[in-house]
Amino acid sequence: MWIRASLGMLLTAAIGFGQGTNLQYELANMREDMRGLIQRVGELSLRVEQLERENEALRNSSKSAAESYATVSQLNDAVADLNRIVKAASASSKSEVLSQVNQKMSALAKQTNAAIDSLAKGMAQRPAVQTKFSDDFSQEGTSYTVQKGDTISSIAQKTGARMQDIINANKITDPTKVQVGQTLFIPASK
């Protein structure tokens, strides 16, 4: 609109200053310039409309982007929630493990007590361990290598020696524990 008003003012000025042919020539040039300006203004208007549409599209996409991305605060809240869940699960798991350990420890304690009781009963039934040995046995005799299944009693029977003499001569503290391959001195009978 202002272009037409400007054109009108230019025409009026040109008529006042110029004369006939020169004036027509100037007027034709001005009209041509005016058409070029009108065309250029139309192109610029189209470009402005296109930029406004692109701007609106960018605003919409930024809004949807803001809605689809999490903020730092939201991420911190999510991490805090996960930490609480993990701690609760860990505490629950720890409680379960401790309960299982407690049950197994109780069972093991019962088994240990039963084994100790059994050993104590076995010790009560054994003869007292001999710690003093007599020298009242013959100093002459033979050696004997303990075989599988041998006991002090069976060795005494095989060799004709007294059981107590074999125990004293070899200083055997526990007559139930002779080992295969062990060499014993067997005193001769008196």
How many whole angstroms separate alpha carbon 40 and alpha carbon 33?
10
What does the pLDDT look like over 64-73, one tens digit per residue? 766 666 778 8
CATH code given to domain 141-187: 3.10.350.10
Report DSSP letters for the chain, one per residue. Answer: -HHHHHHHHHHHHHHHH--HHHHHHHHHHHHHHHHHHHHHHHHHHHHHHHHHHHHHHHHHHHHHHHHHSPPHHHHHHHHHHHHHHHHHHHHHHHHHHHHHHHHHHHHHHHHHHHHHHHHHHHHHHSPPPP------S-S-EEEEE--TT--HHHHHHHHT--HHHHHHHHT-S-TT---TT-EEEEEPP-
- Domain locations in the chain as residue ranges: 2-66, 70-125, 141-187
What does the pLDDT look like over 138-181, one tens digit per residue? 888 999 999 999 999 999 999 999 999 999 999 888 888 899 99
Q: Report whether pLDDT(134) > 90.
A: no
Q: What percent of the chain has pLDDT over 70?
A: 81
